[in-house]
Amino acid sequence: QPHQVLVASTGVIGKHFVDGLFEVGIAKAVAELGSTDGLDIVSGSNAAEAIMTTDTYAKQAAVRFYLPHADGSSNPYTIAGMVKGSGMIEPNMATLLGVFATDALLSQEAADNAFKQAIDTSLNKLTIDSDTSTNDTVFFLSTGGASSAEAVIEYQSAAYYSLVEALTTLCVELARQLAADGEGATKLVTVKVNGAVDDIQADMAARAVANSPLVKTAIAGHDANWGRIAMALGKSGADFEQNQVNIKLMGLSVCHAGLAQPFDEDEALRLFAELPEIVIEADLGTGGNGSTVIWTCDLTHGYIAINGDYRS
């Protein structure tokens, strides 16, 4: 029915839809659907591939979780998701699209809160290039296919927290896939900040590092130039004293108490070459409990090539 149709869009901003494509495309997609009484891996993979734009591979994952019964038995449930996005991504409207579904039966309140909680610690902690578009959409569907009418998961029930844990695990996995496949990216970059006054300030500091072109190009060039990380922390607006900051890069201590820490440059080069994920850790030393994790990627010539030729 029309009220059951959810529309998401991607592409060049300002370019209008051609309505006829929906009529042709939907009919074709429905005709290619597989079984509806079980896990249809082929159709799911086809859908994940169909929504790709500059992505280099389809991004999908699933998590199985179990909810216990009073008699000691348990019911298995599944949450699956597919996402797309490779550039023009930092939440606050990004070119990110995703569809998630579970065969558990959820109340509307449980679904709303669980999804927001999971997204806030995963896809909302993702940035590719700090740019945002006019569209950012994720859908979360509860089919109830594995539940009885009596097994509705209610908000803040014991089952609800198991659901949130499983959903967050799934969303983090997909956020990491998106960051690793950023336009032109060669490295997944994880920025961890702790010791901030609060989580908001930790987020400010981590995003400044993750979005810094100088930090991202240093990683692309395998340059352990920790001064660029310190610079980004300093410009972030987060409240801290520079002589209390400690920085680690790929596990190597490169800055302690705001000063240079001797480290093996050859070892840093080896780690840059071998590690698929570059981890940056910063302790702001304020004595506060604020912390966060942001996922991003390096900035290479490939990003310029993709976006320089986007319409031409």
In angstroms, rounded to a whole number, what is the distance separating the alpha carbons of residues 312 and 300? Answer: 20
Measuring CA to CA, which residue among 173, 172, 164, 63 is closest to residue 116? Answer: 164
Q: Which residues contact 279 (CB under 8 A, 6 or more apart)?
A: 189, 190, 192, 248, 249, 250, 251
Catalytic residues: 95
* Token pair of 201 as six digits: 């300030």
Under a CB-based contact definition with an 8 Å cutoff, are residues 146 and 77 in contact?
A: yes
Beta strands in 36-165 (DSSP E): 59-68, 74-84, 96-102, 136-142
146-149, Cβ contacts within 8 angstroms, sequence gap of 24 or more = 146/75, 146/76, 146/77, 146/78, 146/103, 146/104, 147/75, 147/77, 147/103, 147/104, 147/105, 148/105, 149/105
In angstroms, rounded to a whole number, what is the distance separating the alpha carbons of residues 45 and 108? Answer: 28
Q: Which helix (H) or strand (E) holds 195?
A: strand 188-196
